Amino acid sequence: MARAVTTQRKSINTLVAWVIALLIFFPILWTILTSFKTEAQAINDPPLFLFFDWTLENYAVVQERSDYMKFLWNSVIIAGGSTILGTIIAIPAAWSMAFVPSKRTKDILLWMLSTKMLPAVGVLYPIYLLFIQLGLLDTRVGLVIVLMLINLPIIVWMLYTYFKEIPGEILEAARMDGASLRDEILYVLTPMAIPGIASTILLNLILAWNEAFWTLNLTAANAAPLTAFIASYSSPEGLFFAKLSAASTMAIAPILILGWFSQKQLVRGLTFGAVK
Amino acid sequence: MKYFIRTLLGATAVCALASTALAETITIATVNNGDMIRMQGLTDDFTAKTGHEVEWVTLEENVLRQRVTTDITTKGGAFDIMTIGMYETPIWGANGWLVPLDDLSAEYDVDDLLPAMRAGLSKDGTLYAAPFYGESSMIMYRKDLMEKAGLEMPDAPTWQFIREAAKAMTDRDNDINGICLRGKAGWGEGGAFITVTANSFGARWFDENWKAQFDQPEWADALNFYIDMMEESGPAGYATNGFNENLSLFQQGKCGMWIDATVAASFVTNPNDSTVADKVGFALAPNSEGVEKKSNWLWAWALGIPAGTQKEAAAKEFIEWATSKDYIELVAEKEGWANVPPGARTSLYENPNYKDIPFAKMTLDSILAADPNNPTVKPVPYVGIQFVAIPEFAGIATEVSQEFSAAYAGQQTVEEALAKAQALTTDAMEAAGY
Amino acid sequence: MATQHSRSAARFMMAPAVILLLGWMLVPLTMTLFFSFKKYLPLRGDSLANGLDWVGFDNYVRFVTSSSFWPSIYATLIIVGGVLIITVILGILLAILLDQPMWGQGVVRIFVIAPFFVMPTVSGLVWKNMFMDPVNGILAHLWRFFGAAPVEWLSQASMQSIILIVSWQWLPFATLILLTAIQSLDSEQLEAAEMDGAPVLKRFWYITLPHLSRAITIVILIQTIFLLSIFAEIFVTTAGAFGTKTLTYLIFQRVLESQNVGLGSAGGVYAIILANIVAIFLMRIVGKNLDA
């Protein structure tokens, strides 16, 4: 009897969850489907779901028009570089906040977060002028630095919340055994915090990948990532839904796939210290 | 012997010069319109002829504008050629930000450029950007629906006729709207359209003392007429429709008439994309009864070189290539005459191959009918038809058109929209020191 | 544990992050402050090299007296508030649902978090063109299928539409954090309550919700930071029309569309002030939950 109820309940759960999940996923699914239609089919009335002549034409057109690999590579370098650089700078900072807290730790943390509230467009001119002076315009290095700075507060905060959950005694024991500070962080703390570091890196990869203001405004031909790639397909003259869908699919596919494969790590670590 | 060595040295010097000239890679910022995409596809021809390589930065129109404007005002130097319009060119030229194009080669034949386009891209007689393609606006209508409604489109209709015809063609049960027009906020979208409509009702943006004129009755007439007509015969949600939205409506056969850029003609008559390709007729943009100014605009997408680029010579070579007669021939050969960039050169309209194109004549007539120096009935201190060629205009007109769009959507009355437009324009002009 | 030695080491370790962020904040902020007191109209030929005229507080006064100012504050707060409410409530419900036993849980979870990976520009464009278009959009087809007149989403329900789009993007984030929190809930406690005959709602109210309060705090805090500066979603959908002009968007209009850097910079300073007010406000309510 009890068993039957569970199965029934499980069926209902499954049904409800799948319906909602598909509803949430539908816009992405629809974009992917549309990318395989012709432009005329994309605006067909009534809308075509699965029964249309599937075509790869849009992908061919997009690839012919823009060098996808170049944009992709830039995205990888910029998102990856800024995340890794940010993590390297953040680990020691998070260590000291978690294990040597002072009265001001909380203030510093909140101040760091508040730097994220600076509206990007308000400082476009200052940053642009600075980039010209420093010769960073349209370089990947420039974007790596900017995106690292934008995401640094989040990285520090996430790491800090993980480190705090690690018992200080373990680090102390390591120190007793004569480990230096460097060894302590590299060989004791970091391995223990791997899940946290992994999800921090993942979250920031996503944020950096999707950043569309600086990556668009500080690049031209050399350092332009996928956000600029998308900007060349939105609202041209003429019908464009299908080609936009193909370009969108190409732009989000890498991060979507990465996210899907690593969702377990992402979920495990995405607590921000909210779990006690 | 001495002579020989000198020649040899000279020859090496020439070679050295030639090879440095060959090594250039130029970066071009452009808009993602069809003609530019085509140009991108033909870049190999340019590289084969000159040896220069081209890096394209293709962006959507609004993003492009913000990108190139930031770069030119800060002298960022990110681009060697920028694609700009008739609005930007004279302003930037006056600031000395663009390389004057006054030494183009004889075979380029600068006098062949349509006078209206050349004038619109010049400041004090100096050309600052070369027109890649030009456009005006005109009526595109469905001949079959017009016939069904028992009407005949004159070559130069009035707004009043258009409104009657639209009403007669509207068949909402069958998803046919008599007329589709732009209502989308943005100075280059609905802002441009309502400005030319207002021109054809006798309104103007500013009087001779740069005082905003939204408190004048002509503006209220134009807006009320537009809204009434769209309520009667326009598509649902017209307040968010721009060029693209209307294009897809028209191509799907959901519009009886559409008044928009002349370049749209090649899209709506292209059987690959359009379900009504063989049923489209053309007419001059309308004016209100008793007002002599028609509601057609003038625009060109042009290529300009930012002052200070290291690659000026190569950039000029590119501009000469992309806006030449040869380029038009090249496109015609590869993609057919209907797809060549229109509206830039007189010779195109004299070409017998192009005369067969159904919209060629009406495009030329529309362009010739536009006069940016006298855009309105009453005198104005500015140049430009669907825009006012002052730096502040883009910002002001975008905000004004947002107020108008809110009125189209029924969120405020025409009076409220006009009062707000008047206030914000006055404020912005004051801030700019007029 | 905090010896003198480790204290100085701690300072040393924190230094790179602090110095970098201080620079990142101070350099642009100083320049923004500087510009905000200047007449800086790039298209009129003003530039740093030519020298800029001092105009005192003119830009500040002009920015707040503009008829767009208060509506933009209102729009900002409505969008941030609306998205927060929707994502937190739906996030809790979804998290509870996803925590239940079911078949294909992994796939369901993947579907639910997917929107978070989509670039804001892309999601704005997809929603606007393929869903909310009153003629060709899926929603319009759906409405017509049920015999209703299609809604003109982006003009007549502009605020709701923007909130919907942004909520769709941020719901996965809220759900994930809340889900992790729920998974850490002691199930024995819930089962005990169930045995005692406590109804579902009571169990939720007295056990689950208090347990989630920290996670909710985190969601609100992080999302607020990002939501205050949303831009792409508005840029590609309504372009600031129909009452959706947020403070960020207004600054964009001043700086880039009107090309008035001085005025825009003054707006930027206001935005920083607003952000800090919101931050302080948030800290007050949520601070006790966050024993940082």
Q: What is the mean pLDDT of chain A?
A: 86
Q: Is the pLDDT of residue A169 over 60?
A: yes
From the list A155, A262, C42, the residue with the least C-alpha distance to B432 is C42
Write down the pLDDT at residue C2.
47
Residue among A89, A107, A123 with most chain C CBs within 10 A, to mutate: A123
Structural domains present in chain B: 2-134+299-355 (3.40.190.10), 136-297+368-431 (3.40.190.10)
CB contact under 8 A, C256 and B66: yes
CA distance B96 to chain C (A): 9
Q: Is the pLDDT of residue A237 over 90?
A: no
CB contact under 8 A, A236 and B37: yes
Write down the pLDDT at residue B13.
46
Local structure of B302: helix, strand or coil: strand
Q: pLDDT category, A191, cuts 50, 70, 90?
A: confident
Local structure of C114: helix, strand or coil: helix
Distances (CA, A) of C184 to A193, A239, A268, B149, C179: 18, 50, 11, 70, 9
B231, B166 Cβ separation under 8 angstroms: no
Q: What is the mean pLDDT of chain B?
A: 91
The partner residue sitting opposite B57, judged by closest CB among A65, A220, A235, is A220
Write down the pLDDT at residue A166.
81
Q: pLDDT category, A274, cuts 50, 70, 90?
A: low
Q: What is the C-alpha to C-alpha distance for residues A161 and A106, in angstroms, rounded to an integer?
A: 12
Local structure of B299: helix, strand or coil: strand
Residues paired with B304 in a beta bridge: B82, B129
From the list A40, A19, A42, A39, the residue with the least C-alpha distance to A30 is A42
Parse chain C into domains and list their residue ranges. Answer: 54-289
CB contact under 8 A, C215 and A130: no
Q: Is the pLDDT of residue B97 over 90?
A: yes
pLDDT above 90: percentage of residues in chain A: 39
A30, A242 Cβ separation under 8 angstroms: no
From the list B61, C236, B56, the residue with the least C-alpha distance to A248 is C236
Subunits in contact with chain B (3 or more CB pairs closer than 8 Å):
A, C
Q: Say whether residue B179 is in contact with chain A using an 8 A CB cutoff.
A: no
Write down the pLDDT at residue C289.
60
Q: What is the mean pLDDT of chain C?
A: 87
Write down the pLDDT at residue A168.
77
Q: Give the tokens for residue B15.
A: 């070679």
Write down the pLDDT at residue A101.
81
Task: Count the neighbouring beta carbons within 10 Å of the beta carbon of residue A51.
Answer: 6
Residues of chain C with C-beta less than 8 angstroms from the C-beta of B231: none
Q: Is the pLDDT of residue B393 over 90?
A: yes
B237, B208 Cβ separation under 8 angstroms: no
Q: What is the C-alpha to C-alpha distance for residues C11 and A163, in angstroms, rounded to an integer?
A: 17
**What confidence tens digit (pLDDT) does each residue in B311-339 have?**
999 999 999 999 999 999 999 999 999 89
Which residues of A have a CB under 8 Å from any CB of B? 39-40, 43, 45, 64-66, 124-125, 128-129, 131-132, 137-138, 216-217, 220-222, 224, 228, 231-240
Q: pLDDT category, A3, cuts 50, 70, 90?
A: very low
**What confidence tens digit (pLDDT) does each residue in C221-280 have?**
889 888 988 898 999 888 888 989 999 999 999 988 888 899 999 999 998 888 888 877
B138, B259 Cβ separation under 8 angstroms: yes
Distances (CA, A) of A149 to A122, A126, A266, C209: 16, 16, 22, 35
Write down the pLDDT at residue C287.
60
Task: Count the neighbouring beta carbons within 10 Å of the beta carbon of residue A130.
Answer: 16
Q: Is the pLDDT of residue A235 over 80?
A: no
Q: Give the tokens for residue B62.
A: 């609004």
Q: pLDDT category, A65, cuts 50, 70, 90?
A: confident
Find the closest chain C residue to B426 by CA distance: C66
Q: Is the pLDDT of residue B12 over 80?
A: no
Q: pLDDT category, B170, cuts 50, 70, 90?
A: very high
Distances (CA, A) of B375 to A259, B203, B220, B287: 56, 10, 19, 13
**What confidence tens digit (pLDDT) does each residue in B37-68 have?**
999 999 999 999 999 999 999 998 888 998 99
Q: Give the tokens for residue B65.
A: 């504008």
pTM: 0.90
Q: Is the pLDDT of residue A230 over 50?
A: yes
Q: Say whether residue B20 is in contact with chain A using an 8 A CB cutoff.
A: no
Q: pLDDT category, B15, cuts 50, 70, 90?
A: very low
Q: What is the C-alpha to C-alpha distance for residues C122 and A233, in angstroms, rounded to an integer?
A: 10
Q: Is the pLDDT of residue B209 over 90?
A: yes
A237, B260 Cβ separation under 8 angstroms: no
The secondary structure element, H or E, covering residue C71 is helix C69-99
Parse chain A into domains and list their residue ranges. Answer: 2-59, 66-269
Write down the pLDDT at residue A234.
80
Q: What is the pLDDT along chain C (292 residues), one digit of tens a residue?
A: 445 567 777 778 888 888 888 888 888 889 999 999 999 888 888 887 777 889 889 999 999 998 889 999 999 999 999 999 999 999 999 999 998 888 888 889 889 989 998 999 899 989 998 899 888 889 988 998 898 888 888 888 999 999 999 999 999 999 988 988 888 877 777 778 778 887 888 888 888 888 888 889 888 888 988 898 889 899 988 888 898 999 999 999 998 888 889 999 999 999 888 888 887 777 776 666 655 4
CB contact under 8 A, C177 and A271: yes
CB contact under 8 A, C248 and A121: yes
Instruction: Tell me: cis bond preceding C172? Omega within 30 of 0 counts.
Output: no
Write down the pLDDT at residue B18.
46
Q: Is the pLDDT of residue B6 over 80?
A: no
User: How many contacts does B have with C, using Cβ atoms within 8 A?
Assistant: 116
ipTM exceeds 0.85, yes or no: yes
pLDDT above 90: percentage of residues in chain B: 79
Write down the pLDDT at residue B64.
92
**What confidence tens digit (pLDDT) does each residue in A68-108 have?**
999 999 999 999 999 999 999 999 898 888 888 887 887 78
C77, C268 Cβ separation under 8 angstroms: no
Q: What is the C-alpha to C-alpha distance for residues C261 and C40, in angstroms, rounded to an integer?
A: 5
Q: pLDDT category, B287, cuts 50, 70, 90?
A: very high
CB contact under 8 A, A119 and C265: no
Write down the pLDDT at residue B350.
93
Residue among B28, B31, B55, B269 with most chain A CBs within 10 A, to mutate: B55
CA distance A107 to chain C (A): 9
Q: Say whether residue B66 is in contact with chain A using an 8 A CB cutoff.
A: yes
CB contact under 8 A, A238 and B60: no
Amino acid occupying residue B372: P
Q: What is the C-alpha to C-alpha distance for residues B5 and B149, in angstroms, rounded to an integer?
A: 84
Write down the pLDDT at residue B219.
96
Radius of gyration of the CA atoms of chain C, in A: 24
Q: Over range A205-210, report the average pLDDT.
A: 92
Q: Is the pLDDT of residue A2 over 50?
A: no
Q: What is the C-alpha to C-alpha distance for residues C167 and B405, in angstroms, rounded to an integer?
A: 25
Choose which CATH entry (1.10.3720.10, 1.10.10.10, 3.40.50.10470, 1.10.150.20) describes domain A66-269. 1.10.3720.10
Local structure of C156: helix, strand or coil: helix
Write down the pLDDT at residue C290.
57
Q: What is the C-alpha to C-alpha distance for residues A140 and A151, in angstroms, rounded to an integer?
A: 16
Write down the pLDDT at residue B16.
43
CB contact under 8 A, C121 and A234: yes
Q: Over range B239-258, report the average pLDDT.
A: 91
**What confidence tens digit (pLDDT) does each residue in C247-257 have?**
999 999 998 88
Q: Over range A171-192, report the average pLDDT.
A: 80
Identify the residue with better confidence: A6 or B8. Answer: A6
Write down the pLDDT at residue A44.
77
Write down the pLDDT at residue C286.
61
Q: pLDDT category, B20, cuts 50, 70, 90?
A: very low
Q: Say whether residue A98 is in contact with chain C using an 8 A CB cutoff.
A: no
Residues paired with B84 in a beta bridge: B302
Q: What is the C-alpha to C-alpha distance for residues B351 and C108, in angstroms, rounded to an integer?
A: 62
The CATH homologous superfamily for domain C54-289 is MetI-like (1.10.3720.10)
Q: Over range A57-67, report the average pLDDT.
A: 89
Q: Over range B159-176, report the average pLDDT.
A: 94
User: How many contacts does A have with B, using Cβ atoms within 8 A?
Assistant: 86
- Range list of H helices, A105-237: 105-114, 124-134, 140-165, 168-176, 181-183, 190-192, 194-210, 214-217, 226-231
CA distance B393 to chain C (A): 7
Q: pLDDT category, B19, cuts 50, 70, 90?
A: very low
* SS3 sequence of B408-422: HCCCCCHHHHHHHHH
Residue among A7, A12, A23, A24 with most chain C CBs within 10 A, to mutate: A24
Q: What is the C-alpha to C-alpha distance for residues C189 and B175, in angstroms, rounded to an integer?
A: 60
